[in-house]
């Protein structure tokens, strides 16, 4: 697969870390910060490990500081996937 979509990311987050009560991941979540969605850095790290295994990629830990919302996280992951696909 060469692209991670929001629906896939939400499914992965739910599988890896559950879903915070009172948070609607099916709403407009692209630009909400992880903590607003009920996810801490450990939850995002668990999802990242899953993505790395399933997509056979390595994500750069330095990019995580900027990936503080689902939109930025998807951009980071999809950039790596696009680079891999172009090789």
Distance CA 26, CA 41 (A): 21
Distance CA 75, CA 77 (A): 6
User: Model confidence over 50-87: pLDDT tens digits?
Assistant: 999 999 989 887 787 889 999 999 999 999 999 888 87
Distance CA 44, CA 4 (A): 15
Distance CA 81, CA 1 (A): 8
Q: Nearest 5 degrees, angle CA 67-CA 27-CA 46?
A: 40
pLDDT at residue 16 tops 70? yes
**pTM score of the predicted model:** 0.90
């Amino acid at each position: 697969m060469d692209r991670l979509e929001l629906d896939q990311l939400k499914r992965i987050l739910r599988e890896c870390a559950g879903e915070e009560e009172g948070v609607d991941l099916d709403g407009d979540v692209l630009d909400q910060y992880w903590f607003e969605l009920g996810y801490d850095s450990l939850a995002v790290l668990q999802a990242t490990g899953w993505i790395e295994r399933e997509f056979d990629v390595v994500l750069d830990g330095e990019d995580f500081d900027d990936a503080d919302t689902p939109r930025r996280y998807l951009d980071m992951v999809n950039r790596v996937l696009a680079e891999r696909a172009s090789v």
